[in-house]
Amino acid sequence: MNTPTCPKWCEFNHAAWDDEPDGHDGPSFGDVSVGVAFGDPLSVYTEGQPSRTPDQAREFACDLYRAAAWVEDHRDD
């Protein structure tokens, strides 16, 4: 559920009672996600394994680039 304070890109399913949520989640690109929490600016965050094979590292780099581009395109939304 989006709330009145949600940016239009928010994909998080907020609880009905939470009319002023602390964070908003945007899309994920593989292990790379975008969002905002506790008033921080829209940013890229990562989850996943600490080490990667070369193929995994290349895929992760592409996901990171896509996430960064998405943030730049939506920062003022």
pLDDT band (50, 70, 90) for residue 60? confident
Q: What percentage of the chain has pLDDT greater than the value 70?
A: 82
Q: Could you identify the residue written with the tokens 């964070």?
A: 23
Q: How many domains does the chain have?
A: 1
Token duo for residue 37: 């929490």
CA angle, residues 65, 43, 35, in degrees to nearest 5? 105
User: How confident is the model over 30-58, as pLDDT tens digits?
Assistant: 878 887 776 666 777 777 666 677 788 88
Cα(45)–Cα(25) distance, rounded to whole angstroms? 11
Token duo for residue 30: 């593989």
Determine, yes or no, domain membership for 15.
no
Q: Are strands 23-29 and 43-46 parallel, antiparallel or unpaired?
A: unpaired
Determine, yes or no, domain membership for 12.
no
Q: Which helix (H) or strand (E) holds 68?
A: helix 54-74
Domain assignment of residue 64, given as a range: 27-74
Determine, yes or no, domain membership for 38.
yes
Is-above-0.85 flag for pTM?
no
Determine, yes or no, domain membership for 13.
no
Q: Is the pLDDT of residue 62 over 80?
A: yes
pLDDT of 56: 84
Determine, yes or no, domain membership for 69.
yes
